Amino acid sequence: MDWQALRLSVWLALATALILLPLGVLAGRWLAGSRHPLRPLAEALLALPLVLPPTVLGYYLLVAMGGASPLGQLYQQLTGQTLAFSFSGLLLASLIFNIPFALMPMQRAFEAIPAELYDAARSCGLSPWRTLWHIELPLAWRGILSGLIMTAAHTLGEFGVVLMVGGSIPGETKTIAISIYDRVQGFDMQAAGLMSATLLTVSLATLLSTAWLTRRRGPGPRG
């Protein structure tokens, strides 16, 4: 078992989920309530990572982070390090390829709140902030949590984008998925099997917990 790769994967998954939490909540809430004509385009762009082959997404991210790109140059000026093939670069890529996994369940959860409850909140004198805090988040928490779990699980298993953007630098960008690949290449089938079983268990637990969250809806939103 490559504990270092597992630790790095868990850390990457947690950081990705935590950073996407506020962004997903804000964007999901905006998309759920928006009638902006550009909303379908925004939704399509944000869902792109779902349908793009990971290597294609990884390629574009690598180009965007490379030393020749404005972003790569800015990062290098600020930190003295390259963005590509670093943990920061890997985290940035992870944030981007996980957007739909975090956003979609959150957006659906906000969309499921009946419009009448928003009206009731306003006529009760609640400001938008108090409405978010007292009404929307308590009603949408299952979707939000579901988005976080999906994000974390997806991060643990991502291979193509990680390999393109991060390579396989132990302790920096070598995640458990890359490590499994390396072990198979080195004919260490026992370690590969153990790590694969770990990821399988995590994936199964994720799907079960998501199903449990979606099923246990509690009182209907209508009241």
Partner 1 sequence: MLKLELHQVGPIALNVQLHCAQGELLALVGPSGSGKTSVLRAIAGLLDVEQGRVELGDAVWLDTARGVKVPAERRPVGMVFQHYALFPHLSALDNVRLALPRSADGRSGKDAAHRLLQDMQLDGLAARRPHQLSGGQRQRVALARALARSPGVLLLDEAFAAVDQPTRQALYDELIKLRERVGVPIVMVTHDLREARLLADRMCIIEAGQTLQDGPPEQLMSRPRNARVAALVGLRDIHAGVFHKAGPGQARLRWGEDQAGLDLHTADKGRLDDGTPVRWVIAGEHVQVHLRPPEGPNAVACTLERSRSLGEITTIECRLQNAPHALLHLELTTRYARQLALVPGSPLFLQLAPQGIHIMPVKNP
Q: Which residues form the interface with partner 1 (CB under 8 A)?
A: 114, 116-117, 119-127, 134-135, 138-139, 218-223
Nearest distance in Å: CB 222, partner 1: 6
Spell out the residues 6+ positions from residue 113 whose beta carbon is closer than 8 angstroms to its own: 32, 135, 136, 139, 140, 221
Nearest distance in Å: CB 212, partner 1: 18
Nearest distance in Å: CB 30, partner 1: 19
The Cα–Cα gap between 48 and 130 comes to: 33
Q: Are 11 and 176 in contact (CB under 8 A)?
A: no
Nearest distance in Å: CB 217, partner 1: 10
Nearest distance in Å: CB 18, partner 1: 24
The Cα–Cα gap between 180 and 6 comes to: 10
CB closer to partner 1, 26 vs 116 = 116
CB closer to partner 1, 62 vs 139 = 139
CB closer to partner 1, 32 vs 139 = 139
CB closer to partner 1, 193 vs 221 = 221
The phi, psi pair for 127, rounded to 5°, reads -70, 165
CA dihedral (173, 178, 179, 180) in degrees, to 10, reads 160
Residue carrying the six token digits 């670093």: 86
Token reading at 190:
């026992």
CB closer to partner 1, 17 vs 25 = 25
Spell out the residues 6+ positions from residue 190 whose beta carbon is closer than 8 angstroms to its own: none
